[in-house]
């Protein structure tokens, strides 16, 4: 498992493009995330002070010395930077593998992510699949935030986005650049389209 960080060098997106699982009383959000992995979360180094989890939800008693300086907790703004765990599926590797990047900031690039895992961005082409079965080719210089925004689709189109696998991590596919990788992606697209058609019939 590989964590990495990157400096804020690009504007933060206004929309996430992430499809989170629907929590229920019996199954809270991120229930299936491993205990040693932080599920999607706001960047603790950049989150506003009034949104820190250490800020109590309820004010202290009126006669408490800290009452006068109490600032109510408020949720982070929608554009606050987030960090995601991301699976990297390498179907054509020998052997095939599914690696995990434990901390992928939405301001970091996919090239940074590949380098953090010992992969050469010049040799590996990344792709993601959205909930509606669209396959997006991901350039190494793109940030996670920009790709999430693209996954959300355009205004007026049916809801779409990059769905969390197992309810807690994004997943991307990496194949070798060239004909072999492109052939695998074409077969993958057909498989996704077939699955989408079956769901539409049901």
Query: Six-digit token pair at 169?
Result: 């991590």
Q: What share of the chain is helix, strand, coil (3-state, %, to 5)?
A: 20, 25, 55
* Residue that has been written with the tokens 């690009």 in this structure: 10
Domain positions in the chain are 43-81, 82-202
Query: What band does 200 get if pLDDT is binned at 50, 70 and 90?
Result: low
| pLDDT tens digits along 131-150 | 999 999 999 999 999 999 99
Query: What band does 189 get if pLDDT is binned at 50, 70 and 90?
Result: very high
| pLDDT tens digits along 55-112 | 888 888 888 888 888 888 898 888 889 999 999 999 999 999 999 999 999 999 999 9
C-alpha to C-alpha distance for 189 and 187, rounded to whole angstroms: 5
* Residue that has been written with the tokens 């190494």 in this structure: 140
What CATH number does the domain located at 82-202 have? 3.10.20.90
Phi first, then psi: what are they for 51, rounded to 5°?
A: -110, 5
C-alpha to C-alpha distance for 202 and 185, rounded to whole angstroms: 26
C-alpha to C-alpha distance for 85 and 3, rounded to whole angstroms: 9
Model pTM score:
0.83
Query: Six-digit token pair at 21?
Result: 């699982």
What percentage of the chain exceeds 70 in pLDDT?
Answer: 91
């Amino acid at each position: 498992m590989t964590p990495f960080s990157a400096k804020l060098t690009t504007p933060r997106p206004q929309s996430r493009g992430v499809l989170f699982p629907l929590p229920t009383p019996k199954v809270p959000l991120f229930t299936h995330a491993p205990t040693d992995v932080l599920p999607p979360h706001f960047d603790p180094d950049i989150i506003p002070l009034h949104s820190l989890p250490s800020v109590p939800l309820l004010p202290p008693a009126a006669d408490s010395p800290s009452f006068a300086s109490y600032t109510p907790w408020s949720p982070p703004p929608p554009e606050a930077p987030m960090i995601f765990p991301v699976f990297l599926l390498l179907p054509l590797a020998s052997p095939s593998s599914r690696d995990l990047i434990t901390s992928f900031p939405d301001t970091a690039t996919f090239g940074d992510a590949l380098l953090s895992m010992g992969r050469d961005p010049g040799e590996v082409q990344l792709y993601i699949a959205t909930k509606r079965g669209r396959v997006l080719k991901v350039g190494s210089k793109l940030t996670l935030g920009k790709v999430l925004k693209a996954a959300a689709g355009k205004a007026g189109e049916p809801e779409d986005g990059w769905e969390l696998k197992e309810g807690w991590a994004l997943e991307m596919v990496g194949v070798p650049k060239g004909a072999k990788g492109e052939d695998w992606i074409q077969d993958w697209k057909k498989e996704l389209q077939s699955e989408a058609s079956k769901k539409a019939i049901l």
